[in-house]
Amino acid sequence: MAVNERETIYLEQGWEIMQKGIMKLKNILEGLPETGISSEEYMTLYTTIYNMCTQKPPHDYSRQLYDKYRESLEEYIMSTVLPSLREKHDEFMLRELVKRWLNHKVMVRWLSRFFYYLDRYFIARRSLPPLNEVGLTCFRELVYQELKVKVSNVVISLIDQGREGKQIDRALVKNILDIFLEIGMGKMDYYENDFEAALLKDSAAYYSCKASGWISEEDFCPDYMLKAKECLKQEKYRISHYLHFSSEPKLLEKVQYELWSVYASRLFGKEYSGYHALLTDHKVENLARMVRVFSKVPTFLDPLTNILKQHITEEGTALVKQAEEAAGRKKANKKDVGLWQQVFMRKVIELHAKYVAFVNERFQNHVVFHEALRKAFEALCNKGVDGSSIADLLATFCDNILRKGSSEKLSNEDIEETLEKVVKLLAYINDKDLFTEFYRKKLARRLLFDMSANDDHERSMLMKLKHQFGVQFTLKMEGMVKDIMLAKENQTSFEEYVSNNPNANPGIDLTVTVLTTGFWPSYKSFDLNLPAEMVKCVEVFREFYQIKTKHRKLTWIYSLGTCNIIGKFEPKTMDLIVTTYQASALLLFNSSDRLSYSEIKIQLNLTDDDVVRLLHSLSCAKYKILKKEPNTKSIAPTDHFEFNSKFTDKMRRIKIHLPPVDGKKKVIEDVHKDRRYAIDASIVRIMKSRKVLGHQQLVMECIEQLHRMFKPDLKAIKKRIEDLITRDYLERDKDNPNLFRYLA
């Protein structure tokens, strides 16, 4: 039929027809005896709507029909659905709800089919919610909102019963939760806000309570961890059966957290004062178990890592205190202060080894523990002990192990192992360049005075350092070792030269070690007035060396030389091993019986400091080769000295020790000077390649470049930048004072 031939259907008429269909639908859903809706009936209903919507105004009833659609649903809910739900409780209510929801969905589906024409045109034209949405919204606003709290509570109590081990209707729970999900029509909000939040809260409370019950009166219930593990397993199983998968991580985290914090508050609570309580084997076992359980959730390990850090710090601080006390005692007694330093370093190294073993073996080698370890040791190793830095102490420690006659009696394996540990500890020290300088100085003494216990160990240590910190680290020291080797070869050539040239014979056995200036620590050379015998030696060697190399300049460092002198004492002739300085002083007495301080000083051409030191060693120390007048304990410029012909000792040959000058201050100064150059060079390098760079960026890159050797101080960097600005290497940008520009 053509549209314009159609008869107008008025609203009341049309609606009456619709009502019949709707009624039938309701009855079917209520379970009342009805036949199904036949095809013809459906067609009629559909066409009625169609016609009513396509009539010409004022008979286009789209709007009214849209509203009536919703009204029918609302009416049905109010009259039938809600009452039936309100009268039921607990599980029965849940079942009813599931039923009603299913019914509602069916109803909406059918009605939407009847009213479908509205969906196609009217709704789109007016941007209104589609029929399906309207239908579900009705249920949500009228049923869901009223019952959601009640429903949620019932569900959660069911879940708790399940946790207690009771059998529950899992399918029912799942169906209810599906309602929470579907009611959002694509959004998770209703599920999360109206159910999940309450679930998490309840679960936390549940486990908190449960866990407290497990903690027994004795410490560290070992079953706890097993129970905790079991709980988590069960929760996971439950979750997979009825909760939405998105709840899993949230729930598990909550549960884990509760289980942990109950335990932790017991662990770190007032009952457990002091960290010493913590690390007996029994407790370490428990800690280890905790780590295993919580290893996947690093934030839970925070309290543990803090404990580790604090424990290391406490033990470390105790060692420092011990050492400083020992130092104080020794100083008061004026005894040799060396021993406490050795003991201290040894203990720190052992402390480190102990905790590394812990972390590796007990704490799953977990990265957060390694971090905690690193932070704690960095803090410890960058302090000072009684005025000395750990860099210094560590270098001294190495010296003690590597030199002859050391107080440490260690096997070869022990030495190797200890050196390994030293290198590991060195990684924590910021001032690595300071360590290098001290180590280098002591290495120099060992090499030059033939005090190395074992060449293999020396080489091995250098290799370890090179391996850990790079080639630059050990460049100079390897140069030193090479110099010594070359010196030996050189010596052989020199001896050949002397034997082939009788005129060139110095008359004394002479050994010369040539040092390459850059590799060795800097030594001051004084113009010592050599005894005549030695002058010839120097001459001869100079000639020899000229033949070998023409373009090198030799500077003689007499302060490092040693001399064997034959002392013709009355009781017996003895060999004296002394330094060149001491020898020069003694040889003066070949031509004079008695000399004053000033005469000696003038003849030797040395400073007061040096003269005092060397005369002290010859007249006031263990071996009194010279007699001093007056016979006091210290050297005064008014003293007079005489050869002590009566001197003797049970040994045939003795070494007269000359204590070295304490060069510590100088070492530190030199290191600071080198740092200034290093910072300068680094800044220039960076700016040259970047051309323009911001201040903070520059500082960061500078620290990055230098941190392998030392940790540059921010102020030091700033100062160098300013110095470079003054020297026209850089300029500050006119508009942005935080920006620097490289000036080519």
Partner 1 sequence: MRRSSTKKTGQPASAVSLNSSASDLFRSASSKATSKELERIDQLFSTYADGSSGLIDPEGIEALCSDMEVDHTDVRILMVAWKMRAERQGYFTVDEWRRGLKSLRADTVSKLKKALPELEKEVRRPSNFVDFHAYSFRYCLTEEKQKSIDIESICELLDLVLGSLYRAQVDYFVEYLKTQTDYKVINMDQWMGFLRFCNEISFPDFSNYNPELAWPLILDNFVEWMREKQG
Interacting residues toward partner 1 by CB under 8 A: 694-696, 699, 714-715, 718-719, 721-722, 725-726, 732, 737-740
Q: Residue 668 or residue 716: which is nearer to partner 1 going by CB?
A: 716
Structure tokens, 38 = 């036949």
Give least dist CB 719 to partner 1, A. 5
Residue for token pair 């850990």 = 468
Residue 262 burial (CB count, 10 A): 21
Give least dist CB 151 to partner 1, A. 55
Distance CA 586, CA 565 (A): 9
Give least dist CB 718 to partner 1, A. 4
Bridge partner list, 741: 692, 731
Residue for token pair 């497990």 = 214
Q: Residue 86 or residue 718: which is nearer to partner 1 going by CB?
A: 718
Say if residues 203 and 251 touch (Cβ distance below 8 Å): yes
Type and span of the H or E element at 384: strand 384-385
Q: Among 549, 652, 643, which residue's Cα sits nearest to residue 595?
A: 643
Q: Residue 52 or residue 698: which is nearer to partner 1 going by CB?
A: 698
Q: Residue 172 or residue 721: which is nearer to partner 1 going by CB?
A: 721
Structure tokens, 397 = 């420690």
Burial bucket for residue 576 (CB in 10 Å: 0-12, 13-18, 19+): buried
Residue 569 burial (CB count, 10 A): 17
**What is the CA angle 485-490-495, rounded to 5?**
130
Give least dist CB 325 to partner 1, A. 33
| Residue type (1 letter), 721 | I
Q: Residue 423 or residue 739: which is nearer to partner 1 going by CB?
A: 739
Distance CA 563, CA 364 (A): 59
Structure tokens, 47 = 């066409």
Give least dist CB 726 to partner 1, A. 5
Q: Residue 387 or residue 737: which is nearer to partner 1 going by CB?
A: 737
Distance CA 251, CA 203 (A): 8
Bridge partner list, 693: 740
Q: Residue 624 or residue 732: which is nearer to partner 1 going by CB?
A: 732
Q: Residue 404 or residue 672: which is nearer to partner 1 going by CB?
A: 672
Give least dist CB 686 to partner 1, A. 15
Q: Residue 383 or residue 718: which is nearer to partner 1 going by CB?
A: 718
Q: Residue 125 or residue 734: which is nearer to partner 1 going by CB?
A: 734
Distance CA 581, CA 585 (A): 6
Distance CA 402, CA 399 (A): 5
Give least dist CB 513 to partner 1, A. 43
3-state secondary structure of 732: strand
What letter would DSSP give residue 300?
A: G
Give least dist CB 737 to partner 1, A. 6
Give least dist CB 715 to partner 1, A. 6
Alpha-carbon torsion (632, 635, 639, 642), positive or negative: positive
Give least dist CB 700 to partner 1, A. 10
